[in-house]
Amino acid sequence: MEKLTVITGTGVPLRRSNVDTDQIIPAVFLKRVTKSGFEDALFYAWRRDPSFVLNQKEYSDGKVLVTGPDFGIGSSREHAVWALHDYGFRVIIAPRFADIFYGNTAKNGVLAAIMPMESIELLWKLLEEEPGRSITVDLQTRTVECADVTLPFQVDDYTCWRLMNGFDDIDLTLQHEADITAYEKMRAVKFPFKPKTLPAKHLPEEEVKSAREESIDWAGPLSARG
């Protein structure tokens, strides 16, 4: 995962609260098979509206989203963070985040920065008076700079440390590689009977032919026929 220390880029004011993950990315996109390429799905319904903030060219390369309280509520879909990340957002600033969404951001290299509502209002004002204005977010000092104001934000130490080092959960676990290898050695001795999927063992081969022979006409539900 890329390391986040200082992020500079276009700030986008999203004047909304309670943005749920269905609004961030609708369920129809969950049938996709990739983890990347969700940028077009981000805020799908709102993007149909020409006046939506991301449809204004000054904001279209947004990197820092500044939004209202309770961002990311609803379904636990990790796709919501994937969509924000794929669009280009690396930082979401809000007064409060939903738990699961908050956990998912750090897993995917996105900073969820917490700021009081007064700071959010001020940032909104600054970003709107000069659309396309850039914001600098510094994880070392835990501050946000916009125009000539500097504002502090909150992030927990563990998450901050992970983001600054670009550690994802897998990297962190792999730091315990020696423990895993030791466990595997012990496992091979203590539990030699545990099954392996390879090489594959089968029951005798049998040919599988399609089961149904006849097709049955379907007249519709009981209720429709009175």
Partner 1 sequence: MGTTLAEKVWADHLVRKGEQGAPDLIYIDLQLMHEVTSPQAFEGLRLAGRGLRRLDLTIATEDHNTPTVDIDQPIADKTSAKQISTLEHNCRDFGVRLHPLGDADQGIVHQVGPQLGLTQPGMTIVCGDSHTSTHGAFGALAFGIGTSEVEHVMATQTLSLKPFKTMAVNVEGTLPQGVSSKDIILAIIAKIGTGGGQGHVIEYRGSAIRALSMEARMTICNMSIEAGARAGMIAPDQTTFDYLQGRPHAPEGEMWDRAVEYWETLKTDDDAVFDKVVDLDANDLSPFVTWGTNPGQGLPINDTVPVPDKIADADKRRATTSALAYMGLKPGTPIKSIAVDTVFIGSCTNGRIEDLRAAAHIMKGNHKAKNIHRVLVVPASSRVRLQAEHEGLDKVFKEFGAEWRNAGCSMCLGMNADKMVPGERAISTSNRNFEGRQGKGSRTHLASPIVAAATAIRGTISSPADL
Q: Which residues bind partner 1 (CB under 8 A)?
A: 31-36, 76, 78, 82, 104, 107, 168-170, 172-174, 176, 179-180, 183-184, 187, 191-198, 200-203, 205-213, 216, 218-224
Q: Is 76 exposed, middle or buried (0-12, 13-18, 19+ CB in 10 A)?
A: middle
The residue (of 41 and 126) whose beta carbon lies closer to partner 1 is: 41
| Separation of first and last alpha carbons in the chain | 59
Task: Fill in the DSSP letter of residue 205.
Answer: P
- Helix, strand or coil for residue 19? coil
- Closer of 148 and 184 to partner 1 (Cβ): 184
For partner 1, which is the closer residue by CB, 57 or 202?
Answer: 202
Q: How far is the CB of 28 from partner 1 (least distance, A)?
A: 10
Kindly tell me the number of DSSP H helices and DSSP E strands found in the chain: 7, 7
What is the spatial distance between Cα 78 and Cα 221, in angstroms, rounded to a whole number?
A: 37
Q: What Rg value do the Cα atoms of the chain yield, rounded?
A: 24
Nearer to partner 1, 148 or 216 (CB): 216
Least distance CB 156 / partner 1 (angstroms) = 12
**CB of residue 218 vs partner 1: minimum separation in angstroms?**
6
CA 61 to chain centre: 18
Judged by CB, which is closer to partner 1: 37, or 152? Answer: 37
Least CB distance from residue 72 to partner 1, whole Å?
15
Residue 210: CB minimum distance to partner 1, A: 5
- Whether residue 92 contacts residue 115, with contact meaning beta carbons closer than 8 Å, is answered with no
What is the smallest separation between the CB atom of 73 and partner 1, expressed in angstroms? 17
Q: Whole-angstrom Cα distance, residue 11 to residue 23?
A: 20
Tell me if the bond preceding 199 is cis, omega within 30° of 0.
yes
Give dist(CA 26, CA 46) in Å, integer.
11
The smaller minimum CB distance to partner 1, of residues 148 and 203, is found at 203
